[in-house]
Structure 1
Amino acid sequence: MPAAVDHVQLAAPPGSEDLLRAFYADALGMAEIPKPPALAARGGCWFAAGAVQLHLGVEPGFRPSRKAHLGLRVTGIEAYAARLEGHGTRVTWDDALPGHRRFHALDPVGNRLEFLEPLGGSGV
């Protein structure tokens, strides 16, 4: 049986690493982590925040999915949304998930991201 999610991988177009670094490190506040040398040659970049790891892999012919998305639980969602907006990212609030505040945004290559916080801020 699976014990935990080790990481999530999203695709990105070739040559987009600098855009991804600016978004995931600067706007989202994640730390870039080094890829193993054998994998670094493939391009892309990896990021982490606490136990969350996100891998962005290069995919020739990349087209972002309109529905599939990464969901990130955050604390202080209002401030986090303001942080993203301050970096030029459009935030779209959605109140359809009971018991949560949430919004969606797109990364610079069009990957859909969901940010959510349980009402009451329990984070669990």
Structure 2
Amino acid sequence: MPRFHHANLGVPPGLEDAEGAFLVDILGYRRIDVPADLVGVARWYEADDASQIHLSTDPDHRPAARAHTAVEIDTEVESRLRAAGISYRTTGRDGLTVLFCADPAANRWELRIAG
């Protein structure tokens, strides 16, 4: 049975810190060490369930128009998005509140809040 391990997202040079702040401050990931050969090339972040988001510096980064990463998240994410000045769109689906936003590198996110 497959189990999700990580998603790898591209980040333009110079946005690595802003992208990391989005993952930590908005989504609640924590930064973890990368293998020595990836220092300066990638950054890794982990959630409490051990799933990870890897960020790879990509000078040719072009965010996808529709592709996105979806995560289940706590109810406070909306106030954190507002406080950070990050625009989002809200919809409901199957008893969930679903927020769509973009991170600093313009990667799309679907934030699913059970409610």
Q: Common fold, TM-score beyond 0.5?
A: yes
In 1, the alpha carbon distance for the partners of 2:105 and 2:39 equals 20
Q: Which runs of 5+ in 2 are unaligned?
A: none
TM-fit CA distance, 1:117: 2.2
RMSD over equivalenced CA pairs, Å? 1.5
1:103 to 90, 96, 99: 99
More strand, by proportion: 2
In 2, the alpha carbon distance for the partners of 1:84 and 1:17 equals 18
In 1, the alpha carbon distance for the partners of 2:27 and 2:18 equals 13
Q: Deviations over 1:32-74 (max 9, x none)?
A: 1111111224x23111111221101122211111100000101
Equivalent position of 1:87 in the other structure = 84
Q: How does 1:54-93 map to 2 (within 5 A)?
A: 54-76=53-75, 79-93=76-90
Q: How does 1:11-50 map to 2 (within 5 A)?
A: 11-41=10-40, 43-50=41-48
Q: Which runs of 5+ in 1 are unaligned?
A: 120-124
TM-fit CA distance, 1:11: 1.1
Count, aligned residues: 114
Identity %: 32
In 2, the alpha carbon distance for the partners of 1:101 and 1:27 equals 17
Normalised by the size of structure 1, how large is the TM-score? 0.82
Equivalent position of 1:10 in the other structure = 9
Normalised by the size of structure 2, how large is the TM-score? 0.88
TM-fit CA distance, 1:101: 1.0
Per the alignment, in what secondary structure is the counterpart of residue 69 of structure 2? strand
TM-fit CA distance, 1:8: 1.0
In 2, the alpha carbon distance for the partners of 1:19 and 1:118 equals 27
